[in-house]
């Protein structure tokens, strides 16, 4: 593509366009078309996205009527000589495609696409900017002129050729951002509506976010305390049991607390200022009746670990080693190992003696 036909003013316009396309707030496509009109005088344009089925969609237009758009999507896209479903190889090979890249003008004048569609809107000349990233078509800008305006010049081709890669790059960024917004919306909807209570804490155990279910569960646990205060009190009670384990990168604790099953997970997330930063996620679900017991109510002078106290509470509720392993997501071997440590600390030899000693202590 020849560029020696461009003047200093043309380059200034190109630079202005490149700078301004990054300032779009919401509608990137319409913003691009408006700039093409304001800076270069291309006053009849369209901007379509191309979906994974190679179909044009989500059109934006300048000085092209909505009726023409609707007719195009209803029928005339099938007759479009630039249709990406049939011209993908050509569109991927060039930054600017003209009618004559596909067929002679005399042949084009006899096509249904021109005779029944473009001609009604006084359109005779068309250039298409196929927008692609990693050899994948993601959109297309169409630039149109009437017959009385004369054909596009080499300068037009050079300008649009230069603009293509910048429009494509920014469109890709815009689409990625739109996908992130969509994923965030899905996440937010799930986060708010899931029956599982979720609380997210920063490394100082300050609340970053919690959902409706967590607020309700914490309120039930801390009856009579205002919602936010009940959440803070609940977190304090839970984390006071894990002071020696909180910085363990493999922390994944599951236990019963009153009538709820609690799961605490430690994770590292990227932070702009801190590099990697820890967060804690608490998942709360309603328990299953008889298996739900109040955990960590044992006297401190037995020097039981958090897990040992948890297992002994489940023993008190009548669960077998197999059932304890199932509830805590650990192996039977691990349960037996904890039981041996519990017996040593309580100075007993079996379950019955351990329960008798605990019950008498209470």
Q: Is there a contact between 142 and 68 (Cβ–Cβ < 8 Å)?
A: no
Mind listing the pLDDT tens digit of every residue in the chain (362 residues)? 555 789 999 999 999 999 999 876 678 999 999 999 999 999 999 999 999 899 999 999 999 988 999 999 999 999 999 999 999 999 999 999 999 999 999 999 999 999 999 999 999 999 999 999 999 999 999 999 999 998 999 999 999 999 999 999 999 999 998 888 888 888 888 888 899 999 998 888 888 889 989 888 888 877 666 666 778 888 887 776 665 555 555 566 777 777 788 888 888 877 666 667 888 889 998 865 444 434 444 545 577 887 888 788 888 878 899 988 887 778 899 999 999 999 998 999 999 888 888 776 54
Three-state DSSP string of the chain: CCCCCCCHHHHHHHHHHHHHHHHCCCCHHHHHHHHHHHHHCCCCEEEEEECCCCCEEEEEEECCCHHHHHHHHHCHHHCCCCCHHHHHHHHHHCCCEEHHHCCCHHHHCCCHHHHHHHHHHCCCEEEEEEEEECCEEEEEEEEEECHHHCCCCHHHHHHHHHHHHHHHHHHHHHHHHHHHHHHHHHHHHHHHHCCCEEEEECCCCCEEEECHHHHHHHHHHCCCCCHHHHHHHHHHHHHCCCCCCCCCCCCEEEEEECCEEEEEEEEEEEECCCEEEEEEEEEEEECCHHHCCCCCCCCHHHCCCHHHHHHHHHHHCCCCHHHHHHHHCCCHHHHHHHHHHHHHHHCCCCHHHHHHHHHHHC
Residue 290 pLDDT: 43
Output the CA–CA distances (angstroms, integers) from residue 170 to 164, 173, 176, 257, 357, in the order listed.
10, 5, 10, 51, 71
Residue 221 pLDDT: 74
Task: Give the contacts of 140 (CB within 8 A, at least 6 positions apart).
Answer: 47, 48, 50, 56, 82, 84, 91, 128, 129, 130, 131
Q: Looking at the domain 8-184, which fold is it?
A: Beta-Lactamase (3.30.450)
- What burial letters (b/e) apply to 245-284, b meaning 16+ CB within 10 Å? beeeeeeebebbbbebbbebebeeeeeeeeeeebebebbb
Domain spans in the chain, listed from the N-terminal domain onward: 8-184, 186-361
**Among 165, 284, 314, which Cα is nearest to 215's?**
284
Q: Which CATH architecture has domain 186-361?
A: Orthogonal Bundle (1.10)
Residue 15 pLDDT: 96
Residue 308 pLDDT: 84
Residue 294 pLDDT: 40
């Amino acid at each position: 593509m020849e560029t020696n036909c461009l003047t200093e003013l043309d380059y200034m316009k190109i630079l202005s366009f490149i700078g301004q396309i990054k300032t779009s707030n919401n509608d990137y496509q319409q913003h691009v078309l408006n700039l093409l009109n304001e800076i270069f005088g291309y006053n009849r344009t369209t901007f379509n996205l191309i979906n994974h089925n190679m179909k044009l969609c989500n059109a934006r237009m300048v000085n092209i009527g909505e009726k023409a758009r609707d007719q195009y999507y209803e029928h005339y896209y099938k007759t479009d000589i630039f249709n990406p479903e049939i011209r993908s190889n050509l569109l991927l090979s060039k930054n600017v495609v003209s009618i004559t890249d596909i067929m002679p003008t005399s042949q084009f004048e006899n096509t249904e696409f021109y005779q029944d569609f473009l001609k009604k809107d006084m359109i005779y000349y068309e250039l298409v900017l196929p927008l692609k990233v990693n050899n994948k078509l993601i959109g297309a800008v169409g630039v149109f002129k009437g017959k009385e305006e004369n054909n596009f010049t080499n300068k037009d081709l050079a300008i649009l050729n230069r603009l293509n890669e910048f429009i494509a790059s920014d469109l890709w960024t815009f689409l990625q951002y739109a996908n992130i917004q969509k994923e965030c919306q899905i996440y937010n909807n799930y986060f708010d509506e899931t029956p599982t209570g979720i609380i997210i804490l920063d490394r100082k155990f300050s609340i970053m976010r919690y959902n409706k279910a967590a607020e309700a569960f914490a309120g039930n646990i801390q009856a009579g305390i205002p919602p936010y205060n009940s959440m803070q009190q609940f977190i304090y009670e839970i984390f006071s049991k894990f002071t020696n384990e909180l910085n363990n990168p493999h922390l994944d604790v599951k236990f019963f607390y009153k009538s709820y099953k609690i799961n605490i997970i430690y994770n590292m997330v990227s932070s702009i200022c801190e590099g990697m930063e820890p967060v804690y996620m608490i998942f709360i679900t309603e328990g299953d009746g008889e298996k739900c017991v109040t955990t960590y109510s044992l006297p401190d002078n037995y020097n039981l670990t958090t897990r040992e106290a948890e297992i002994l509470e489940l023993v008190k509720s009548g669960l077998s080693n197999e059932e304890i392993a199932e509830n805590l997501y650990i192996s039977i071997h691990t349960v037996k190992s904890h039981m041996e440590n519990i017996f040593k600390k309580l100075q007993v030899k079996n379950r019955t003696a351990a329960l008798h000693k605990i019950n008498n202590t209470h």
